[in-house]
Structure 1
Amino acid sequence: MSDSVEAISPSAARAAREVRVVFSRLRRRLREIGGAHDLTPSQTAVLSRLLKDGAATASGLAAAEGVRPQSMAATLAVLEERGLIRRDPDPQDGRRQLVTPSDAGREWVEGSRQARDEWLSRALQDRCTEEERETVLRAFAVLDRIVQ
């Protein structure tokens, strides 16, 4: 950390607060739209990771998600109970199991993603002008730069 501490401008503090509040609302709304109320954020994250990254062991998923193996075991038990994942023997090591999304899990993630994309596209189309949509795109370019 630097020896000199610069004061945060009021506009930076206000922008930070507004971004946080709006993103929280948007995240909640997208969860409602996508049917994520059926699953916890952790369960959704694991299912999405499996779809994106492919088969994984429970310990690999725990490490990737930054949780204890016991927590991952509980998450996977719920996903398996709901038929959203399946476990198969690892062809490299029969003592381990590989977790993959089931067809139902794949459909759930894809359906949820499509519902959220459709809702947000429709909301931007119906509630914003073309100029406002361009402003949103420019603002997200700035936010993306901040998080890089």
Structure 2
Amino acid sequence: MTDAPAILSASSAQTARELRVLVSRLRRRFLEASDNAELTPSQLSVLSRLKNGDATASEIAAAERVRPQAIATHLAILSDRGFVLRRTDPKDGRRQLVSLSPAGRELIAGRRRAGQEWLTTALEEKYTEAERQTLLAALELLERLGPQ
């Protein structure tokens, strides 16, 4: 790991601020564009975690960085609403595995489709082809910020 330079450029600081604000605004807009089924952001986050497969309540709590009691409350609501299923872990009968139900999978997929449709339409309406190509080039540069 390399040490950060002692003095950061003004352009780096400005870009970081503006990018953080933009990402926050886009995230809110994605949430507005999708059907949240009247679920809280925390409940939606739990559902999103389960899209990659089964997990225990304690695994979800650790990933979400919350107490297991909080996850238990969310899971009870999600189960009552038919978005998650629980079953005994075949490897350890003392644990329960939680997974997305078909309704939960459809909710997640529908939210993703709605966000994609909103963004595609917005890009088509607000930007020229040349501007969209510039955005694609900028995204290639921003990709370096992600995990390697």
Q: Same fold (TM over 0.5)?
A: yes
Closer, same or farther: CA 37–9 of 1 in aligned 2, 3 Å: farther
Q: Which runs of 5 or more structure 2 residues have no equivalent in the other structure?
A: none
Cα displacement (A) at 1:104:
0.7
The percentage of counterpart residues that share the same residue type is: 52
Contact persistence 1:31–1:37 (CA under 8 A): no
Contiguous gaps of at least 5 residues in structure 1: none
Residue of structure 2 equivalent to 1:102? 101
Q: What pairs with 1:1-148 in structure 2 (closer than 5 Å)?
A: 5-6=6-7, 8-36=8-36, 38-52=38-52, 54-148=53-147
Give the RMSD, CA atoms, in angstroms.
1.9
Q: In structure 2, how many angstroms separate the alpha carbons of the residues matched to 1:21 and 1:129? A: 23
Pair 1:3–1:101, CA change in 2 (3 A): closer
Amino acid at match of 2:143: D
Cα 1:4/1:126, change in 2 over 3 Å: closer
Measure the CA separation in 2 of the matches of 1:59 and 1:22: 33
**What amino acid is the match of 1:114?**
R
CA distance in 1, matches of 2:4, 2:126: 47
* Larger proportion of helix: 1
Q: TM-score, normalised by structure 2?
A: 0.88
Secondary structure, counterpart of 1:22 in structure 2: helix
